[in-house]
């Protein structure tokens, strides 16, 4: 007598195999979704579509990050392997770069090729994470741990800076006290500083006069399109006035117009934009008047990008 198909041993064997395959595919889909969420692939796809639809005239009027390629790819800053480069700013008066080190607090001056000119200890700072040149030798430095911003003056003779010697601005509490105000950039067209909160990523403006004195309180900017895992650094393109927003966790650099609209982006992964390897933790970005882009990454890596 024939065994009914429903009771066939082969059918019983196929059922567990089908269930196993179903679970495997479910795990693959879940893992792919998790990776996509972490890497913000949905955001990258949307930006890619917007970029492809942008007319050439608008591209020419922007920074347009897709056209940049690495010219100096991860040059090591000598003697700073344990100092953790935290931010970067360009000084057009000296045509040099300045970076703050967060772990061992000091300010370092660099050539545009990443050679060290001098190191200046920052006495009294706990965790300097942001630096912005605002003109006349003045620089604004943020301390993430103390939630302070200090405007200092750096001359050719400066060898060290002491926090107590300079006026301080209380940045107030952040949404996550351990992930406070990390990014800072000077916007000369609007006479204001831009402040970036690390996580959740947010931006603020603060009016500053010609003497480096702040006017009023900081104002949160309604940039709902800032879809990043964290905010590491801010920069301003002196030619267009557009803002550069760097995210170490998202491995991404965004270009925003003055209204906060995302214009273009650059992915900081190995194999893209001329990078041999992924930038491990991009923490600082700056741009000069010719449009050359500079970056620093923890622990002590230096990058230069130029349009091809």
Q: Write the DSSP string, 198-252.
A: TTTTEEEEEEE-TTS-EEEEEEE---TT---S---EEEE-TTT--EEEEETTTTE
Q: What is the pLDDT of residue 32?
A: 45
Q: What is the pLDDT of residue 134?
A: 95
In the three-class reduction of DSSP (H, G, I as helix; E, B as strand; rest coil), residue 293 is classed as: strand
pLDDT per residue of the chain (308 residues) written in tens, 0 to 9? 554 555 555 555 565 665 666 665 566 555 544 445 555 555 556 665 666 667 788 888 899 999 999 999 999 999 898 899 999 999 999 999 999 998 899 999 999 999 999 999 999 999 999 999 999 999 999 999 999 999 999 999 999 999 999 999 999 887 766 678 989 999 999 999 999 999 889 999 999 886 778 888 999 998 766 788 999 999 999 999 999 999 999 999 999 998 898 999 999 999 999 999 999 999 999 999 999 999 999 999 999 999 98
- Rounded-to-integer distance, Cα 120 and Cα 162, Å: 10
Q: What is the pLDDT of residue 33?
A: 47
Give every strand in the sheet of 138-143, ordered side by side: 128-135, 138-143, 148-153, 168-170
Which one-letter DSSP state was computed for residue 58? H
Q: What is the pLDDT of residue 281?
A: 96
- Rounded-to-integer distance, Cα 242 and Cα 256, Å: 6
CATH, range 55-307: 2.120.10.30
- Rounded-to-integer distance, Cα 106 and Cα 131, Å: 11
In the three-class reduction of DSSP (H, G, I as helix; E, B as strand; rest coil), residue 121 is classed as: strand
Q: Can you read off the two tokens belonging to residue 54?
A: 């942008």
Q: What is the pLDDT of residue 215?
A: 85
Q: What is the pLDDT of residue 23?
A: 62
């Amino acid at each position: 007598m024939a065994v009914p198909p429903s009771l066939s041993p082969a059918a019983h064997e196929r059922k567990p195999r089908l269930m196993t395959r179903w679970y495997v595919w479910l795990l693959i889909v879940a893992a792919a979704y998790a990776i996509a969420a972490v890497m913000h692939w949905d955001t990258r796809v949307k930006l890619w579509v917007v970029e492809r639809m942008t007319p050439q005239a608008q591209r020419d009027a922007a920074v347009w990050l897709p056209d940049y390629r690495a010219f100096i790819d991860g040059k090591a800053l000598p003697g700073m392997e344990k100092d953790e480069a935290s931010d970067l700013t360009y000084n057009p008066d000296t045509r040099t770069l300045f970076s703050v080190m967060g772990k061992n607090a000091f300010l370092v001056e660099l050539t545009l090729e990443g050679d060290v000119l001098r190191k200046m200890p920052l006495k009294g700072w706990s965790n300097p994470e942001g630096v912005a040149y605002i003109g006349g030798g003045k620089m604004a430095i943020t301390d993430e741990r103390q939630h302070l911003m200090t405007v200092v003056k750096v001359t050719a003779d400066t060898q060290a800076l002491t926090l107590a010697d300079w006026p301080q601005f209380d940045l107030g509490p952040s949404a996550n006290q351990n992930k406070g105000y990390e990014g800072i950039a000077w916007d000369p067209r609007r006479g204001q500083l831009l402040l970036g909160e690390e996580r959740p990523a947010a931006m603020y403006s603060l009016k500053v006069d010609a003497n480096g004195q702040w006017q009023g309180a900081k104002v949160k900017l309604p940039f709902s399109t800032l879809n990043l895992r964290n905010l590491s650094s801010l920069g301003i393109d002196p030619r267009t006035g557009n803002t550069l927003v760097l995210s170490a966790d998202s491995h991404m650099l965004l270009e925003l117009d003055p209204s906060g609209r995302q214009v273009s982006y650059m992915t900081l992964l190995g194999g893209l934009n001329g990078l041999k390897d992924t930038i491990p933790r991009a923490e600082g970005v700056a741009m000069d008047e010719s449009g050359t882009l500079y970056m620093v990454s923890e622990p002590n890596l230096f990058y230069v990008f130029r349009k091809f």
